[in-house]
Structure 1
Amino acid sequence: MAFSLQVMLFFVVLGTASIRGCFPSSTPGVGGGEVVMPDGEKMSEKDMDKTYLFAVEGNWFPYSSVDKYTGKAVGMMYEMIKDVCHMCDMKCDTVFLGDNAERCYDASDMSSRGLNDRHFDACVGWGRTISRMNTLNFTRPFMTATMAALYAHPDSGITTVADIFPASVGFRAAYYMDALCARRNAFFGSDTLDPSSVVYVDGDWTTVLEKLTNREFDVALLPEGRDGTDGLVKITDSFDCTHGGLAMMTRKDVDMSWWDKCFMDYAMSGMQEQLCMNYDTKRCILM
Structure 2
Amino acid sequence: MGYSSDNSRTIVLCGILLALTTSLIAVIIGSVSLAKSSHSIAQINALTEPWYRANQEKVWTIAIGDFGVNLEYLDEVSYQIKGYNVDVVEAVCKLANKTCVLMRDVNQRCWDSEPGQQARGGEGLMSGWYDACTGWVKTYPRSLTFDFTRAFVKRKDVAIYALNTSTVDYRDLTGLNVGFIDGWASDEHCLARYVSNGITGASLPSDRIHHLSSGMELIQALRSGQIDVAFAIKLPQLEAGFRRLTPTDFANNCYLDGAGMMTRKENTQFVTWWNDAFGRLVGTPTYDDICTRLKTVHGHKPGSGAKDVCIGY
* TM-score, length of structure 2 as denominator length: 0.65
Which of 287, 310, 313 in structure 2 is aligned with 1:272? 287
CA deviations over 1:10-62 (Å, ceiling 9, x no partner)? xxxxxx9xxxxxxxxxxxxxxxxxxxxxxxxxxxx99x932211111124433
Alignment of 1:85 with 2:93, yes or no, is: yes
Q: Distance in 2 between matches of 1:166 and 1:264?
A: 47
State the partner residue of 1:165.
Answer: 174
Which amino acid counterpart does residue 231 of structure 2 have in structure 1? L
State the partner residue of 2:301.
Answer: none
Secondary structure of the structure 1 residue equivalent to 2:134: strand
**Offset of residue 143 of structure 1:** 0.2
In terms of fraction of residues, the more helix-rich structure is 2
Which of 177, 185, 190 in structure 1 is aligned with 2:186? 177
Alignment of 1:247 with 2:256, yes or no, is: no
Are 1:272 and 1:286, in contact at CA under 8 Å, matched by a contact in 2? no
**Offset of residue 84 of structure 1:** 1.3
What count of residue pairs does the alignment treat as equivalent? 241
**Offset of residue 131 of structure 1:** 1.4
State the partner residue of 1:101.
Answer: 107
State the partner residue of 1:65.
Answer: 73
Q: Distance in 1 between matches of 2:144 and 2:200?
A: 22
Query: In terms of mean alpha carbon deviation, does 213-222 or 128-137 score higher?
Result: 213-222
**Offset of residue 186 of structure 1:** 7.0
Secondary structure of the structure 2 residue equivalent to 1:63: coil
State the partner residue of 2:121.
Answer: 111
Matches within 5 A, 1:205-220: 205-220=215-230
Q: Distance in 2 between matches of 1:190 and 1:221?
A: 13
Q: Distance in 2 between matches of 1:270 and 1:143?
A: 18
Which of 126, 131, 141 in structure 2 is aligned with 1:121? 131
Q: Distance in 2 between matches of 1:168 and 1:59?
A: 23
Which of 232, 240, 244 in structure 1 is aligned with 2:243? 232
Q: Distance in 2 between matches of 1:233 and 1:89?
A: 44
State the partner residue of 2:6.
Answer: none
Q: Relative to 1, partners in 2 of residues 1:88 and 1:249: Cα closer, same or farther, differing over 3 Å? A: same
Alignment of 1:149 with 2:159, yes or no, is: yes
Which amino acid counterpart does residue 102 of structure 1 have in structure 2? Q
**Offset of residue 144 of structure 1:** 1.9
**Offset of residue 167 of structure 1:** 3.6
CA deviations over 1:217-246 (Å, ceiling 9, x no partner)? 433314436435655361444444321210
Unaligned runs of 5+ in 1: 1-15, 17-44
Q: Distance in 2 between matches of 1:164 and 1:61?
A: 29
Q: Distance in 2 between matches of 1:225 and 1:125?
A: 14
State the partner residue of 2:82.
Answer: 74
Which amino acid counterpart does residue 266 of structure 2 have in structure 1? D
Are 2:112 and 2:182, in contact at CA under 8 Å, matched by a contact in 1? no
Q: Distance in 2 between matches of 1:77 and 1:267?
A: 14
Which amino acid counterpart does residue 122 of structure 2 have in structure 1? S
**TM superposition outliers: structure 1 runs of 4+ over 6 Å:** none
Secondary structure of the structure 2 residue equivalent to 1:95: strand
Which amino acid counterpart does residue 260 of structure 2 have in structure 1? A
**Offset of residue 64 of structure 1:** 2.8
Q: Relative to 1, partners in 2 of residues 1:265 and 1:105: Cα closer, same or farther, differing over 3 Å? A: same
